[in-house]
Every structure is written in structure tokens, then in C-alpha cells.
Amino acid sequence: MNSSRPSIADKRRSFRQLHASGCFAIPNPWDPGAAVYLQSLGFRALATTSSGYAWSRGRRDGTSPLDEVLVHLRELVEATDVPINADFESGFAADAAGVAHNVHLAVQTGVAGLSIEDSSGDPARPLRTRADALARVRAAREAIDRSSADVLLVARAECFWVGHPDLDETIARLRAYANAGADCLYAPGLHTREQIAAVVAAVAPRPVNLLMGTAGTLTMRDIAALGVRRVSVGGALARVAWAALMNAARTLVEEGCFDGLAGAASGPELDALFRARTG
């Protein structure tokens, strides 16, 4: 790495500072090229997306193997000068001890933060028990602390995301995760101002991440006014890119024309963007 680029410690320090006050957007690239472009726009931090990465590998979300995810994390860290937050799903392990081991491996990739979620992947029981989820958060916290790396731990309550929109249960889980050592709290699926404000108030002064995965009426200014500290978009940017590809390809196969290629990014512009990174 060029000595003029920020160190891993620098990135981790600046990431924690971002969570101290204000509100910032943390978009989600799915490969190094997307990450480099987002950085070029001035975003101060980026987060991975399990779904976006899985789709880029021809898989459904939640099926990426740990070894590939670790390589992906390292690639994004090395490609960028801004902090990277890892979507570390539920820790890629059957138990808390396995989560601790895997979090240790994730920390070694150079990420500045990582999230642990409480969804199980089992359609019959999509939420882990609170005891199991808490054990995973504690294990992640202990692994980070043992590493002596200043990695920010994000804990996710997936109630709304998996079809159980119980605000009281969501808040109870987030508070428990905060007590177990989570630095930032996240409940994907919140969509009303009242829900967002209730979560922010319930876990204060811990920062809250809000997912904005679809177009809506809330702006960054509105979200900041509600007390949210950071805003991610999950797999939404990947879905936008997929929509462009799908529409262009369908037009070609169904109509035999190339109208879907209108508005394509300029090759020279893209080469110029990446030339700055590769020399």
C-alpha cells in the first residue's frame, strides 16, 4: 500500500469519529469497482452488502461461504481509502464460539466495522432466540476486544425484516445488544417516522443505522432530524444495476434492438476513474 494512503488504524479511527455526531450516508458496493466509484463521489465510509455480493457470484442472499466473504472484505479494504463496514450476516457459524472465531478472521481483513444479525435463515423460525442472539453479540464483542482492534460492532434486530414487525420486541432486542457491547444498533425494515424515532430514543446515546432500500419520501435531512446517525441502502444499488442490465438484455432478446444500451456509462470515463487507482 502507498504510504500516503490511510492506514487500517486511521480508517478505524475515522469510522468511529463518524458515529460520534451528525448523520452520514454509508452506501453498499458489491465489488471493488463499485466501491472505488462510490469513494470518488466523496462518501466517507462504505458498507458491504451480503445480497449484492451473493448476486454478483450467481447465488441467492445468505449462501456465500465464509472463505469467499473474507476475500471480498479484504479486496474492498485494499481498493479504498475509506472505512469499510462488513455485513457479516449472523457470523457464519452454528454457535457463539464459531462466531467469535469468524469475527477474529473478519477483523484481520482490515474492516473498520462489522454487523451481526439475529435472523436464522430458517423460514419456520426466522428469528434466533434472544439468548442465542445475545450470545453471538457477546462473542463478537469479545473477539474484537481480544484483537485490540478498534472495530465498531453493529448489532441487528431483524424482526421487521423477517415478517415480525413487533416494535416492542425490536427495541427490547436492540437494548439487550447494546448492553452486550454493540456500538451501533440497526433494525432493518423500519419505515415510519414514529418507528424510527422510537428506536433512536430507546437506545440513545448509541448511534442507530437506518436502512433505506427503496425510494421514499424521507430525505437525509429528514432522517438526520429524527436522530439517526448513519443511513445505508443494503442491496438497493446492486438491484438498480441489475435492473439496468436486465432491461437492456431483455430489450435485445425480445425486440432485437439495442435501445437498452442508451445511457450507458462511458468506457473512457470508467478507465479514467480506475487509472487513478492502478497508475
62-77 pLDDT tens trace? 999 999 999 999 999 9
Cα distance between residue 118 and residue 114, in whole Å: 14
Residue 273 lies in a domain: no
| pLDDT tens digits for range 81-100 | 999 999 999 999 999 999 99
Identify whether the C-beta of residue 160 lies closer than 8 Å to the C-beta of residue 210: no
Please tell me the distance from the alpha carbon of residue 91 to that of residue 115, in angstroms, as a whole number.
9
Residue 24 lies in a domain: yes
What mean pLDDT do residues 104-128 have? 97
Of 18, 26, 20, the residue nearest 48 (C-alpha): 26
In Å, what is the CA distance from 192 to each residue of 38, 119, 189, 209, 212?
Answer: 28, 22, 10, 14, 11
- pLDDT > 50? residue 229: yes
Is the predicted pLDDT of residue 28 greater than 50, yes or no? yes
pLDDT band at 278 (very low <50, low <70, confident <90, very high): low
Give the domain range for residue 117: 8-234
Q: For residue range 51-64, list pLDDT tens digits in order.
A: 999 999 999 999 99
Q: What is the pLDDT of residue 276?
A: 72
CATH code of residue 195:
3.20.20.60
Give the pLDDT score at 1. Answer: 41
| Domain assignment present for 133 | yes
Give the pLDDT score at 279.
57
The pLDDT mean for the chain works out to 96
State residue 216's pLDDT score.
Answer: 85
Distances (CA, A) of 145 to 70, 171, 220: 19, 25, 33
259 within a domain of the structure (yes/no):
no
Share of the chain above pLDDT 90, in %: 96
Any domain includes 116:
yes
Task: Read off the pLDDT of each residue in 122-136 and give the average, rounded to a whole number.
Answer: 96
Mean pLDDT, residues 101-125 taken together: 97
Higher model confidence: residue 275 or residue 254?
A: 254
257 lies in some domain: no
Per-residue pLDDT tens digits for 130-171 = 999 999 999 999 999 999 999 999 999 999 999 999 999 999
Residues 255-264, mean pLDDT to the nearest whole number: 96
Residue 3 confidence (pLDDT):
56
Tell me whether residue 21 is in a domain: yes
**What CA–CA distance (Å, rounded) separates 118 from 136?**
8
Asked whether residue 3 is assigned to any structural domain, the reply reads no
Total-model pTM: 0.96
Structural domain count of the chain? 1
Return phi, psi of residue 174, to 5°.
-60, -40
- pLDDT number for residue 116: 98
Average pLDDT, stretch 19-33?
98
> How many whole angstroms separate alpha carbon 64 and alpha carbon 51?
9
Q: Please say whether the beta carbons of 92 and 102 come within 8 A.
A: yes
Section 230-238 average pLDDT: 98
